[in-house]
Amino acid sequence: MAYEKTLKLVTNLDRGAVEAKIAEIRDTARSGQLAELASLLTGVEGLPRAQIEARVKSALQWLADKPQHKTCWRYWSSWSSTPNLK
C-alpha cells in the first residue's frame, strides 16, 4: 500500500533555534551511545542551509532504518523542515 503525504508541519524556528535543536538531538545521541547519528549532526552550526538540510535528511534516513528508534524519528521528522534557514 502506498502512502501519500497528508500533512506538512512548518515550524517558526529561526536559524539559531534550528541549530540549537539539532545540537540538542546530537548531544542526546551521544549520551545514548548513537555515535553514528551524532557524527551526522556534528558541525552543522553556520553551515549553508542546503548542507544542514542534507545532514538532517541523512540523520532521518539513518533513524528510519532502526525500528528501535521510530519514536525519535517521528518526533524529529515532524519539525525538521528548515524553511527559515538563510
pLDDT of 28 over the 70 cut? yes
pLDDT for residue 48:
92
pLDDT of 40 over the 90 cut? yes
Calpha distance 67→22 (Å, rounded):
21
Hey, which bits of the chain come out as E strands? none
Going from the C-alpha of 83 to that of each of 13, 57, 79, the distances in angstroms are 9, 14, 11
Q: Please report, for the chain, the start and end positions of each structural domain, with discontinuous segments joined by +.
A: 15-79
pLDDT in tens, 17-27: 888 888 988 88
How does the average pLDDT of the chain come out, rounded?
76
Return the C-alpha torsion angle 21, 26, 30, 34, nearest 10.
120
Q: What is this structure's pTM?
A: 0.68
